[in-house]
Amino acid sequence: MSQLNSVDTALLEIIAGMKNGKAPGAYNIRKDSGCADRVNSENVTITTKTDKPGIDITFVPGCKDSCHIPVIITESGLRETVYNDFFIGEGADATIIAGCGIHNCGEDASEHDGVHTFHIGKNARVHYIEKHYGEGDGSGERVMNPATVCYLEEGAVLQMDTSQIGGIDSTNRDTKIVCGKGAEVVITERLLTHSHQVAHSDMEISLDGEDSKGRVISRSVAQDESVQVFRPRVVGNARCFGHVQCDSIIMGKAKISSVPEIAANDLDAQLIHEAAIGRIAGDQLLKLETLGLTPEEAEDRILKGFLA
């Protein structure tokens, strides 16, 4: 166990809502490739993997509980790959608050690559919340590459809310979901990039089970000379419903590429996709400015509302 300092606790509050490094229920804090603190609860057990870096998180069947599993990196030049597996028992109702914060004040790149695999039992429900954030006055890059794989059994429901709230120089996000009979997934992704930052996001939802449902909602803002590339894909392999929606605001000299895809392999698959990229409308800015906001305040208010 390593001791938390003021920088650590500030990061934990931003990415996981943990005040003073604590949270109700079970939690595990990973700091600079080590465990800073861990608490198990009656319904949630967190154990360290023995074959590779990472943890196993188990929710007992039928329970309603939560856990926090944040990661913070404060050492410049630290690079790590972590494997976390989640086992959600049948009929459980689980809330999982993750997140990664990098504080880099050095010259070398700091990088966290996280591989999360979810096994969601029959009729279980999961709300997964993940925030990524970077800070620090060093020249070293802050890099995050999250990979998420989810298997939903019959009747399972997954709500996944992911956001990159600033300060990440490079990210490659890879998400794969497999839905069984009657399973449902809703993914909401929010990304903010600025300066010369680059963000790539690839998603694939396979609707394998009859009456399964999948929805992707992507909202992003690209500022300055940053680059964003989105490739969400929904595949219907049975009677199912899928919807992909991508909305982006482009500013400065930024570049955005949005490539939604739907693929039907069954006569009764109903799939929809839509994408829009544009700048902030002038009448929106004018309206807020007439209410007393400066142009900068008006722009900031619109962007926060869009990414909320």
> How confident is the model over 285-304, as pLDDT tens digits?
887 788 888 888 888 888 88
CA–CA dist 235, 72 (Å, integer)? 35
pLDDT > 90 in the chain, percent: 89
Give SS3 for 194.
coil
Task: Tell me the pTM.
Answer: 0.94
Compute how many other C-beta atoms are within 10 angstroms of the C-beta atom of residue 123. Answer: 18
Taking a C-beta distance cutoff of 8 angstroms, is the pair 86, 46 a contact?
Answer: no
* Structure tokens given for 152: 């939903």
**DSSP of 156-183:** -EEEEEEEE-S--SEEEEEEEEEE-TT-
In this prediction, residue 1 carries a pLDDT of 57
How far apart are the C-alpha atoms of 80 and 86, rounded to whole Å?
A: 20
Say which DSSP state 12 is in. Answer: H
Q: Is 63 helix (H, G, I), strand (E, B) or coil?
A: coil
Count CA within 13 A, CB hemisphere, residue 305.
10
The torsion region of residue 208 among left (phi > 0), alpha (psi -120 to 50) and beta comes to alpha
pLDDT, tens only, 146-164: 999 999 999 999 999 999 9
Whether 56 and 28 have beta carbons less than 8 Å apart is answered as: no
The pLDDT of residue 239 is 98
| Position 73 pLDDT exceeds 60 | yes
* Radius of gyration from C-alpha coordinates of the chain: 20
Query: So what's the pLDDT on residue 297?
Result: 87
CB count, 10 Å around CB of 304?
A: 11
pLDDT digits over 255-265, tens only? 999 999 999 99
Lowest mean pLDDT segment, chosen from 153-162, 210-219, 272-281: 272-281
For 18, 152, 211, 256, 265, the CA distances from 197, given in Å and listed in that order, are 27, 33, 39, 12, 37
| Residue 19 φ/ψ, nearest 5 degrees | -90, 130
